[in-house]
Amino acid sequence: MLSGQTLVLGAGQITITKNLMIDGDLDNDGVADITIDANALGRVFELDDGSGTPDLEIRLSGLWLTNGVATGPGGAVLNRENLSIVDCNLIANQTMGDDSPGGAVSSGPGNLTIIGTNVIGNSTSGRSSDGGGISNVGGNLSVTSSVIAQNETTGFGSSGGGIYSDGGSFTSGGGSLTVLRTDIDDNSAVGRGGGINVRRSSYTIDQSTIRYNETTGSSFDGGGLYSVTSNPSQRGTIVNSTIHGNRAQGYGGGLYILFNRVQIFNSTITSNTAGGSGGGIHSDEFDPDFGSRTVVASSIVASNQPSDVDFETFFTGLNGFTSRGGNVIGLGNATDAFADSELIGGADPELEPLDRYGGETYTRPPLASSPAIDVGKNPDRLSEDQRGEVRTFGDATDAGAVERNDMD
């Protein structure tokens, strides 16, 4: 067994200026064997050949990167190329100073691919320093089979406790964010988006859980996720996912959606709380000319405080929610949009407590008595539920992220 091999950096970062693969998983068991400890003296890696474009391909795998400290972006890694981080642990890195995004990683405009990696306990502390864990501006960020936990921003105006992802432009295609089979857990932001803040881009959250994240700044919105764009071609998709136990001091305990067109299909949104309205989902500024709306199908949005589905619009006064049916919905000023769904008011949706029930993430399967059983739909023709079990069992699809089957 290989273990405990640690390289402590004496002073300053390692700068990579060419295509390179570094593999610290010496015995190929998928578990990192080499630790690079920046010893709180600087950043661990800067990836940039100075060409001004993201033209290098770099892969870091099997590494622990810890105790990185940067005054400026990226506590452990500043990436200006195309980077894959595979089977790594990015633990307890931080940025200090203002305008210093990405407690663990700052990336863009190149692409960042994160697989099988734990990003835990990283932070930013300066003003306007977004992304306690990861910041992506202008690139494509994908996070698969990973854990993003206990990261935080604490400086004024710093958004996205776990992940901050900015496509970089309201007008062009911009970058994107994809989160697959990943746990976004217990992150916090002073600003908008305790777990995730995604702006000016398309995004997908699939087979993932966003739980126990919060905004800590007074009146800041989006405990689990905050999304905004004014470009109707930039769309959000949340499918087969669980949004549970998040808290916003402002609006949108689970999700806060501003202008964006967002589809929420086959998902479970429970036990989130907001200081303002929209404990589950707050949909803001629906504009029919613009195409913004919050489209919900086959989902459970219930047992959130003070309510589940709320809209607010300064300009049009119209309900921004559209139901595609098969939902289980509790309370809120937007329930008129859900006439085709099960309206349970303040009743309990009767789900198991959040825990591991198979698959890679935490879920809440319906109890046998749940009103979610067999009332859902499957508009995307999904073959799997969030945990990878069959999506439709029995008479029909269950509402929510998990299908109850005869093994439950």
3-state helix, strand, coil in the chain (%, to 5): 0, 40, 60
The one among 7, 14, 22, 31 contacting Ca ion by CB under 5 A = 31
Under the binding rule (CB under 5 A), the answer on residue 214 touching Ca ion is no
Near Ca ion in 338-397, by CB under 5 A? 374, 393-394
Best CA proximity match to 325, nearest among 371, 266, 278: 266
C-beta closer to Ca ion: residue 36 or 334: 36
Query: In the set 55, 336, 340, 384, which binds Ca ion (CB under 5 A)?
Result: 55
Minimum CB–partner distance for residue 4 and Ca ion (Å): 12
Quick check: helix, strand or coil at residue 105?
strand
As measured in angstroms, the least distance from the Cβ of 241 to Ca ion is 18
> Counting contacts by CB under 5 A, is residue 51 touching Ca ion?
yes
Q: How far is the CB of 88 from Ca ion (least distance, A)?
A: 11
Q: Given the rule CB under 5 A, which of 33-41, 164-172, 212-220, 233-241 is the region that contacts Ca ion?
A: 33-41
**The binder of Ca ion chosen from 37, 49, 99, 380 (CB under 5 A):** 49
Q: In what side-by-side order are the strands of the sheet with 105-107?
A: 14-16, 45-47, 77-79, 105-107, 134-137, 163-166, 196-199, 225-228, 255-258, 281-284, 309-312
**Contact residue for Ca ion among 351, 398, 399, 400 (CB under 5 A):** 398
Stretch that binds Ca ion, among 21-29, 89-97, 250-258, 349-357 (CB under 5 A): 21-29
Pick the binder of Ca ion from 12, 20, 29, 288 (CB under 5 A): 29
Cα–Cα distance, 253 to 251 (Å, whole number): 6
The residue type at 371: P
Q: Are 143 and 160 in contact (CB under 8 A)?
A: no
Considering CB under 5 A, how many residues would be counted as binding Ca ion?
12
Rank residues 83 and 262 by Cβ distance to Ca ion and give the closer one.
83
Q: What is the Cα–Cα distance from 150 to 161, expressed in whole angstroms?
A: 8
- Round the CA-based radius of gyration of the chain to a whole number and report it: 21
* Closest CB to Ca ion among residues 10, 50: 50
- The answer to the question of residue 27 lying near Ca ion (CB under 5 A) is yes
Sign of the torsion formed by the C-alpha atoms of 52, 54, 59 and 60: positive
The yes or no reply on residue 288 touching Ca ion (CB under 5 A) is: no
Residues 6+ apart with CB under 8 A from 159: 130, 131, 153, 189, 191, 192, 193, 197, 226
Determine which residue in the list 33, 152, 186, 385 makes contact with Ca ion, applying CB under 5 A. Answer: 33
Contacts with Ca ion, residue ranges (CB under 5 A): 25, 27, 29, 31, 33, 49, 51, 55, 374, 393-394, 398
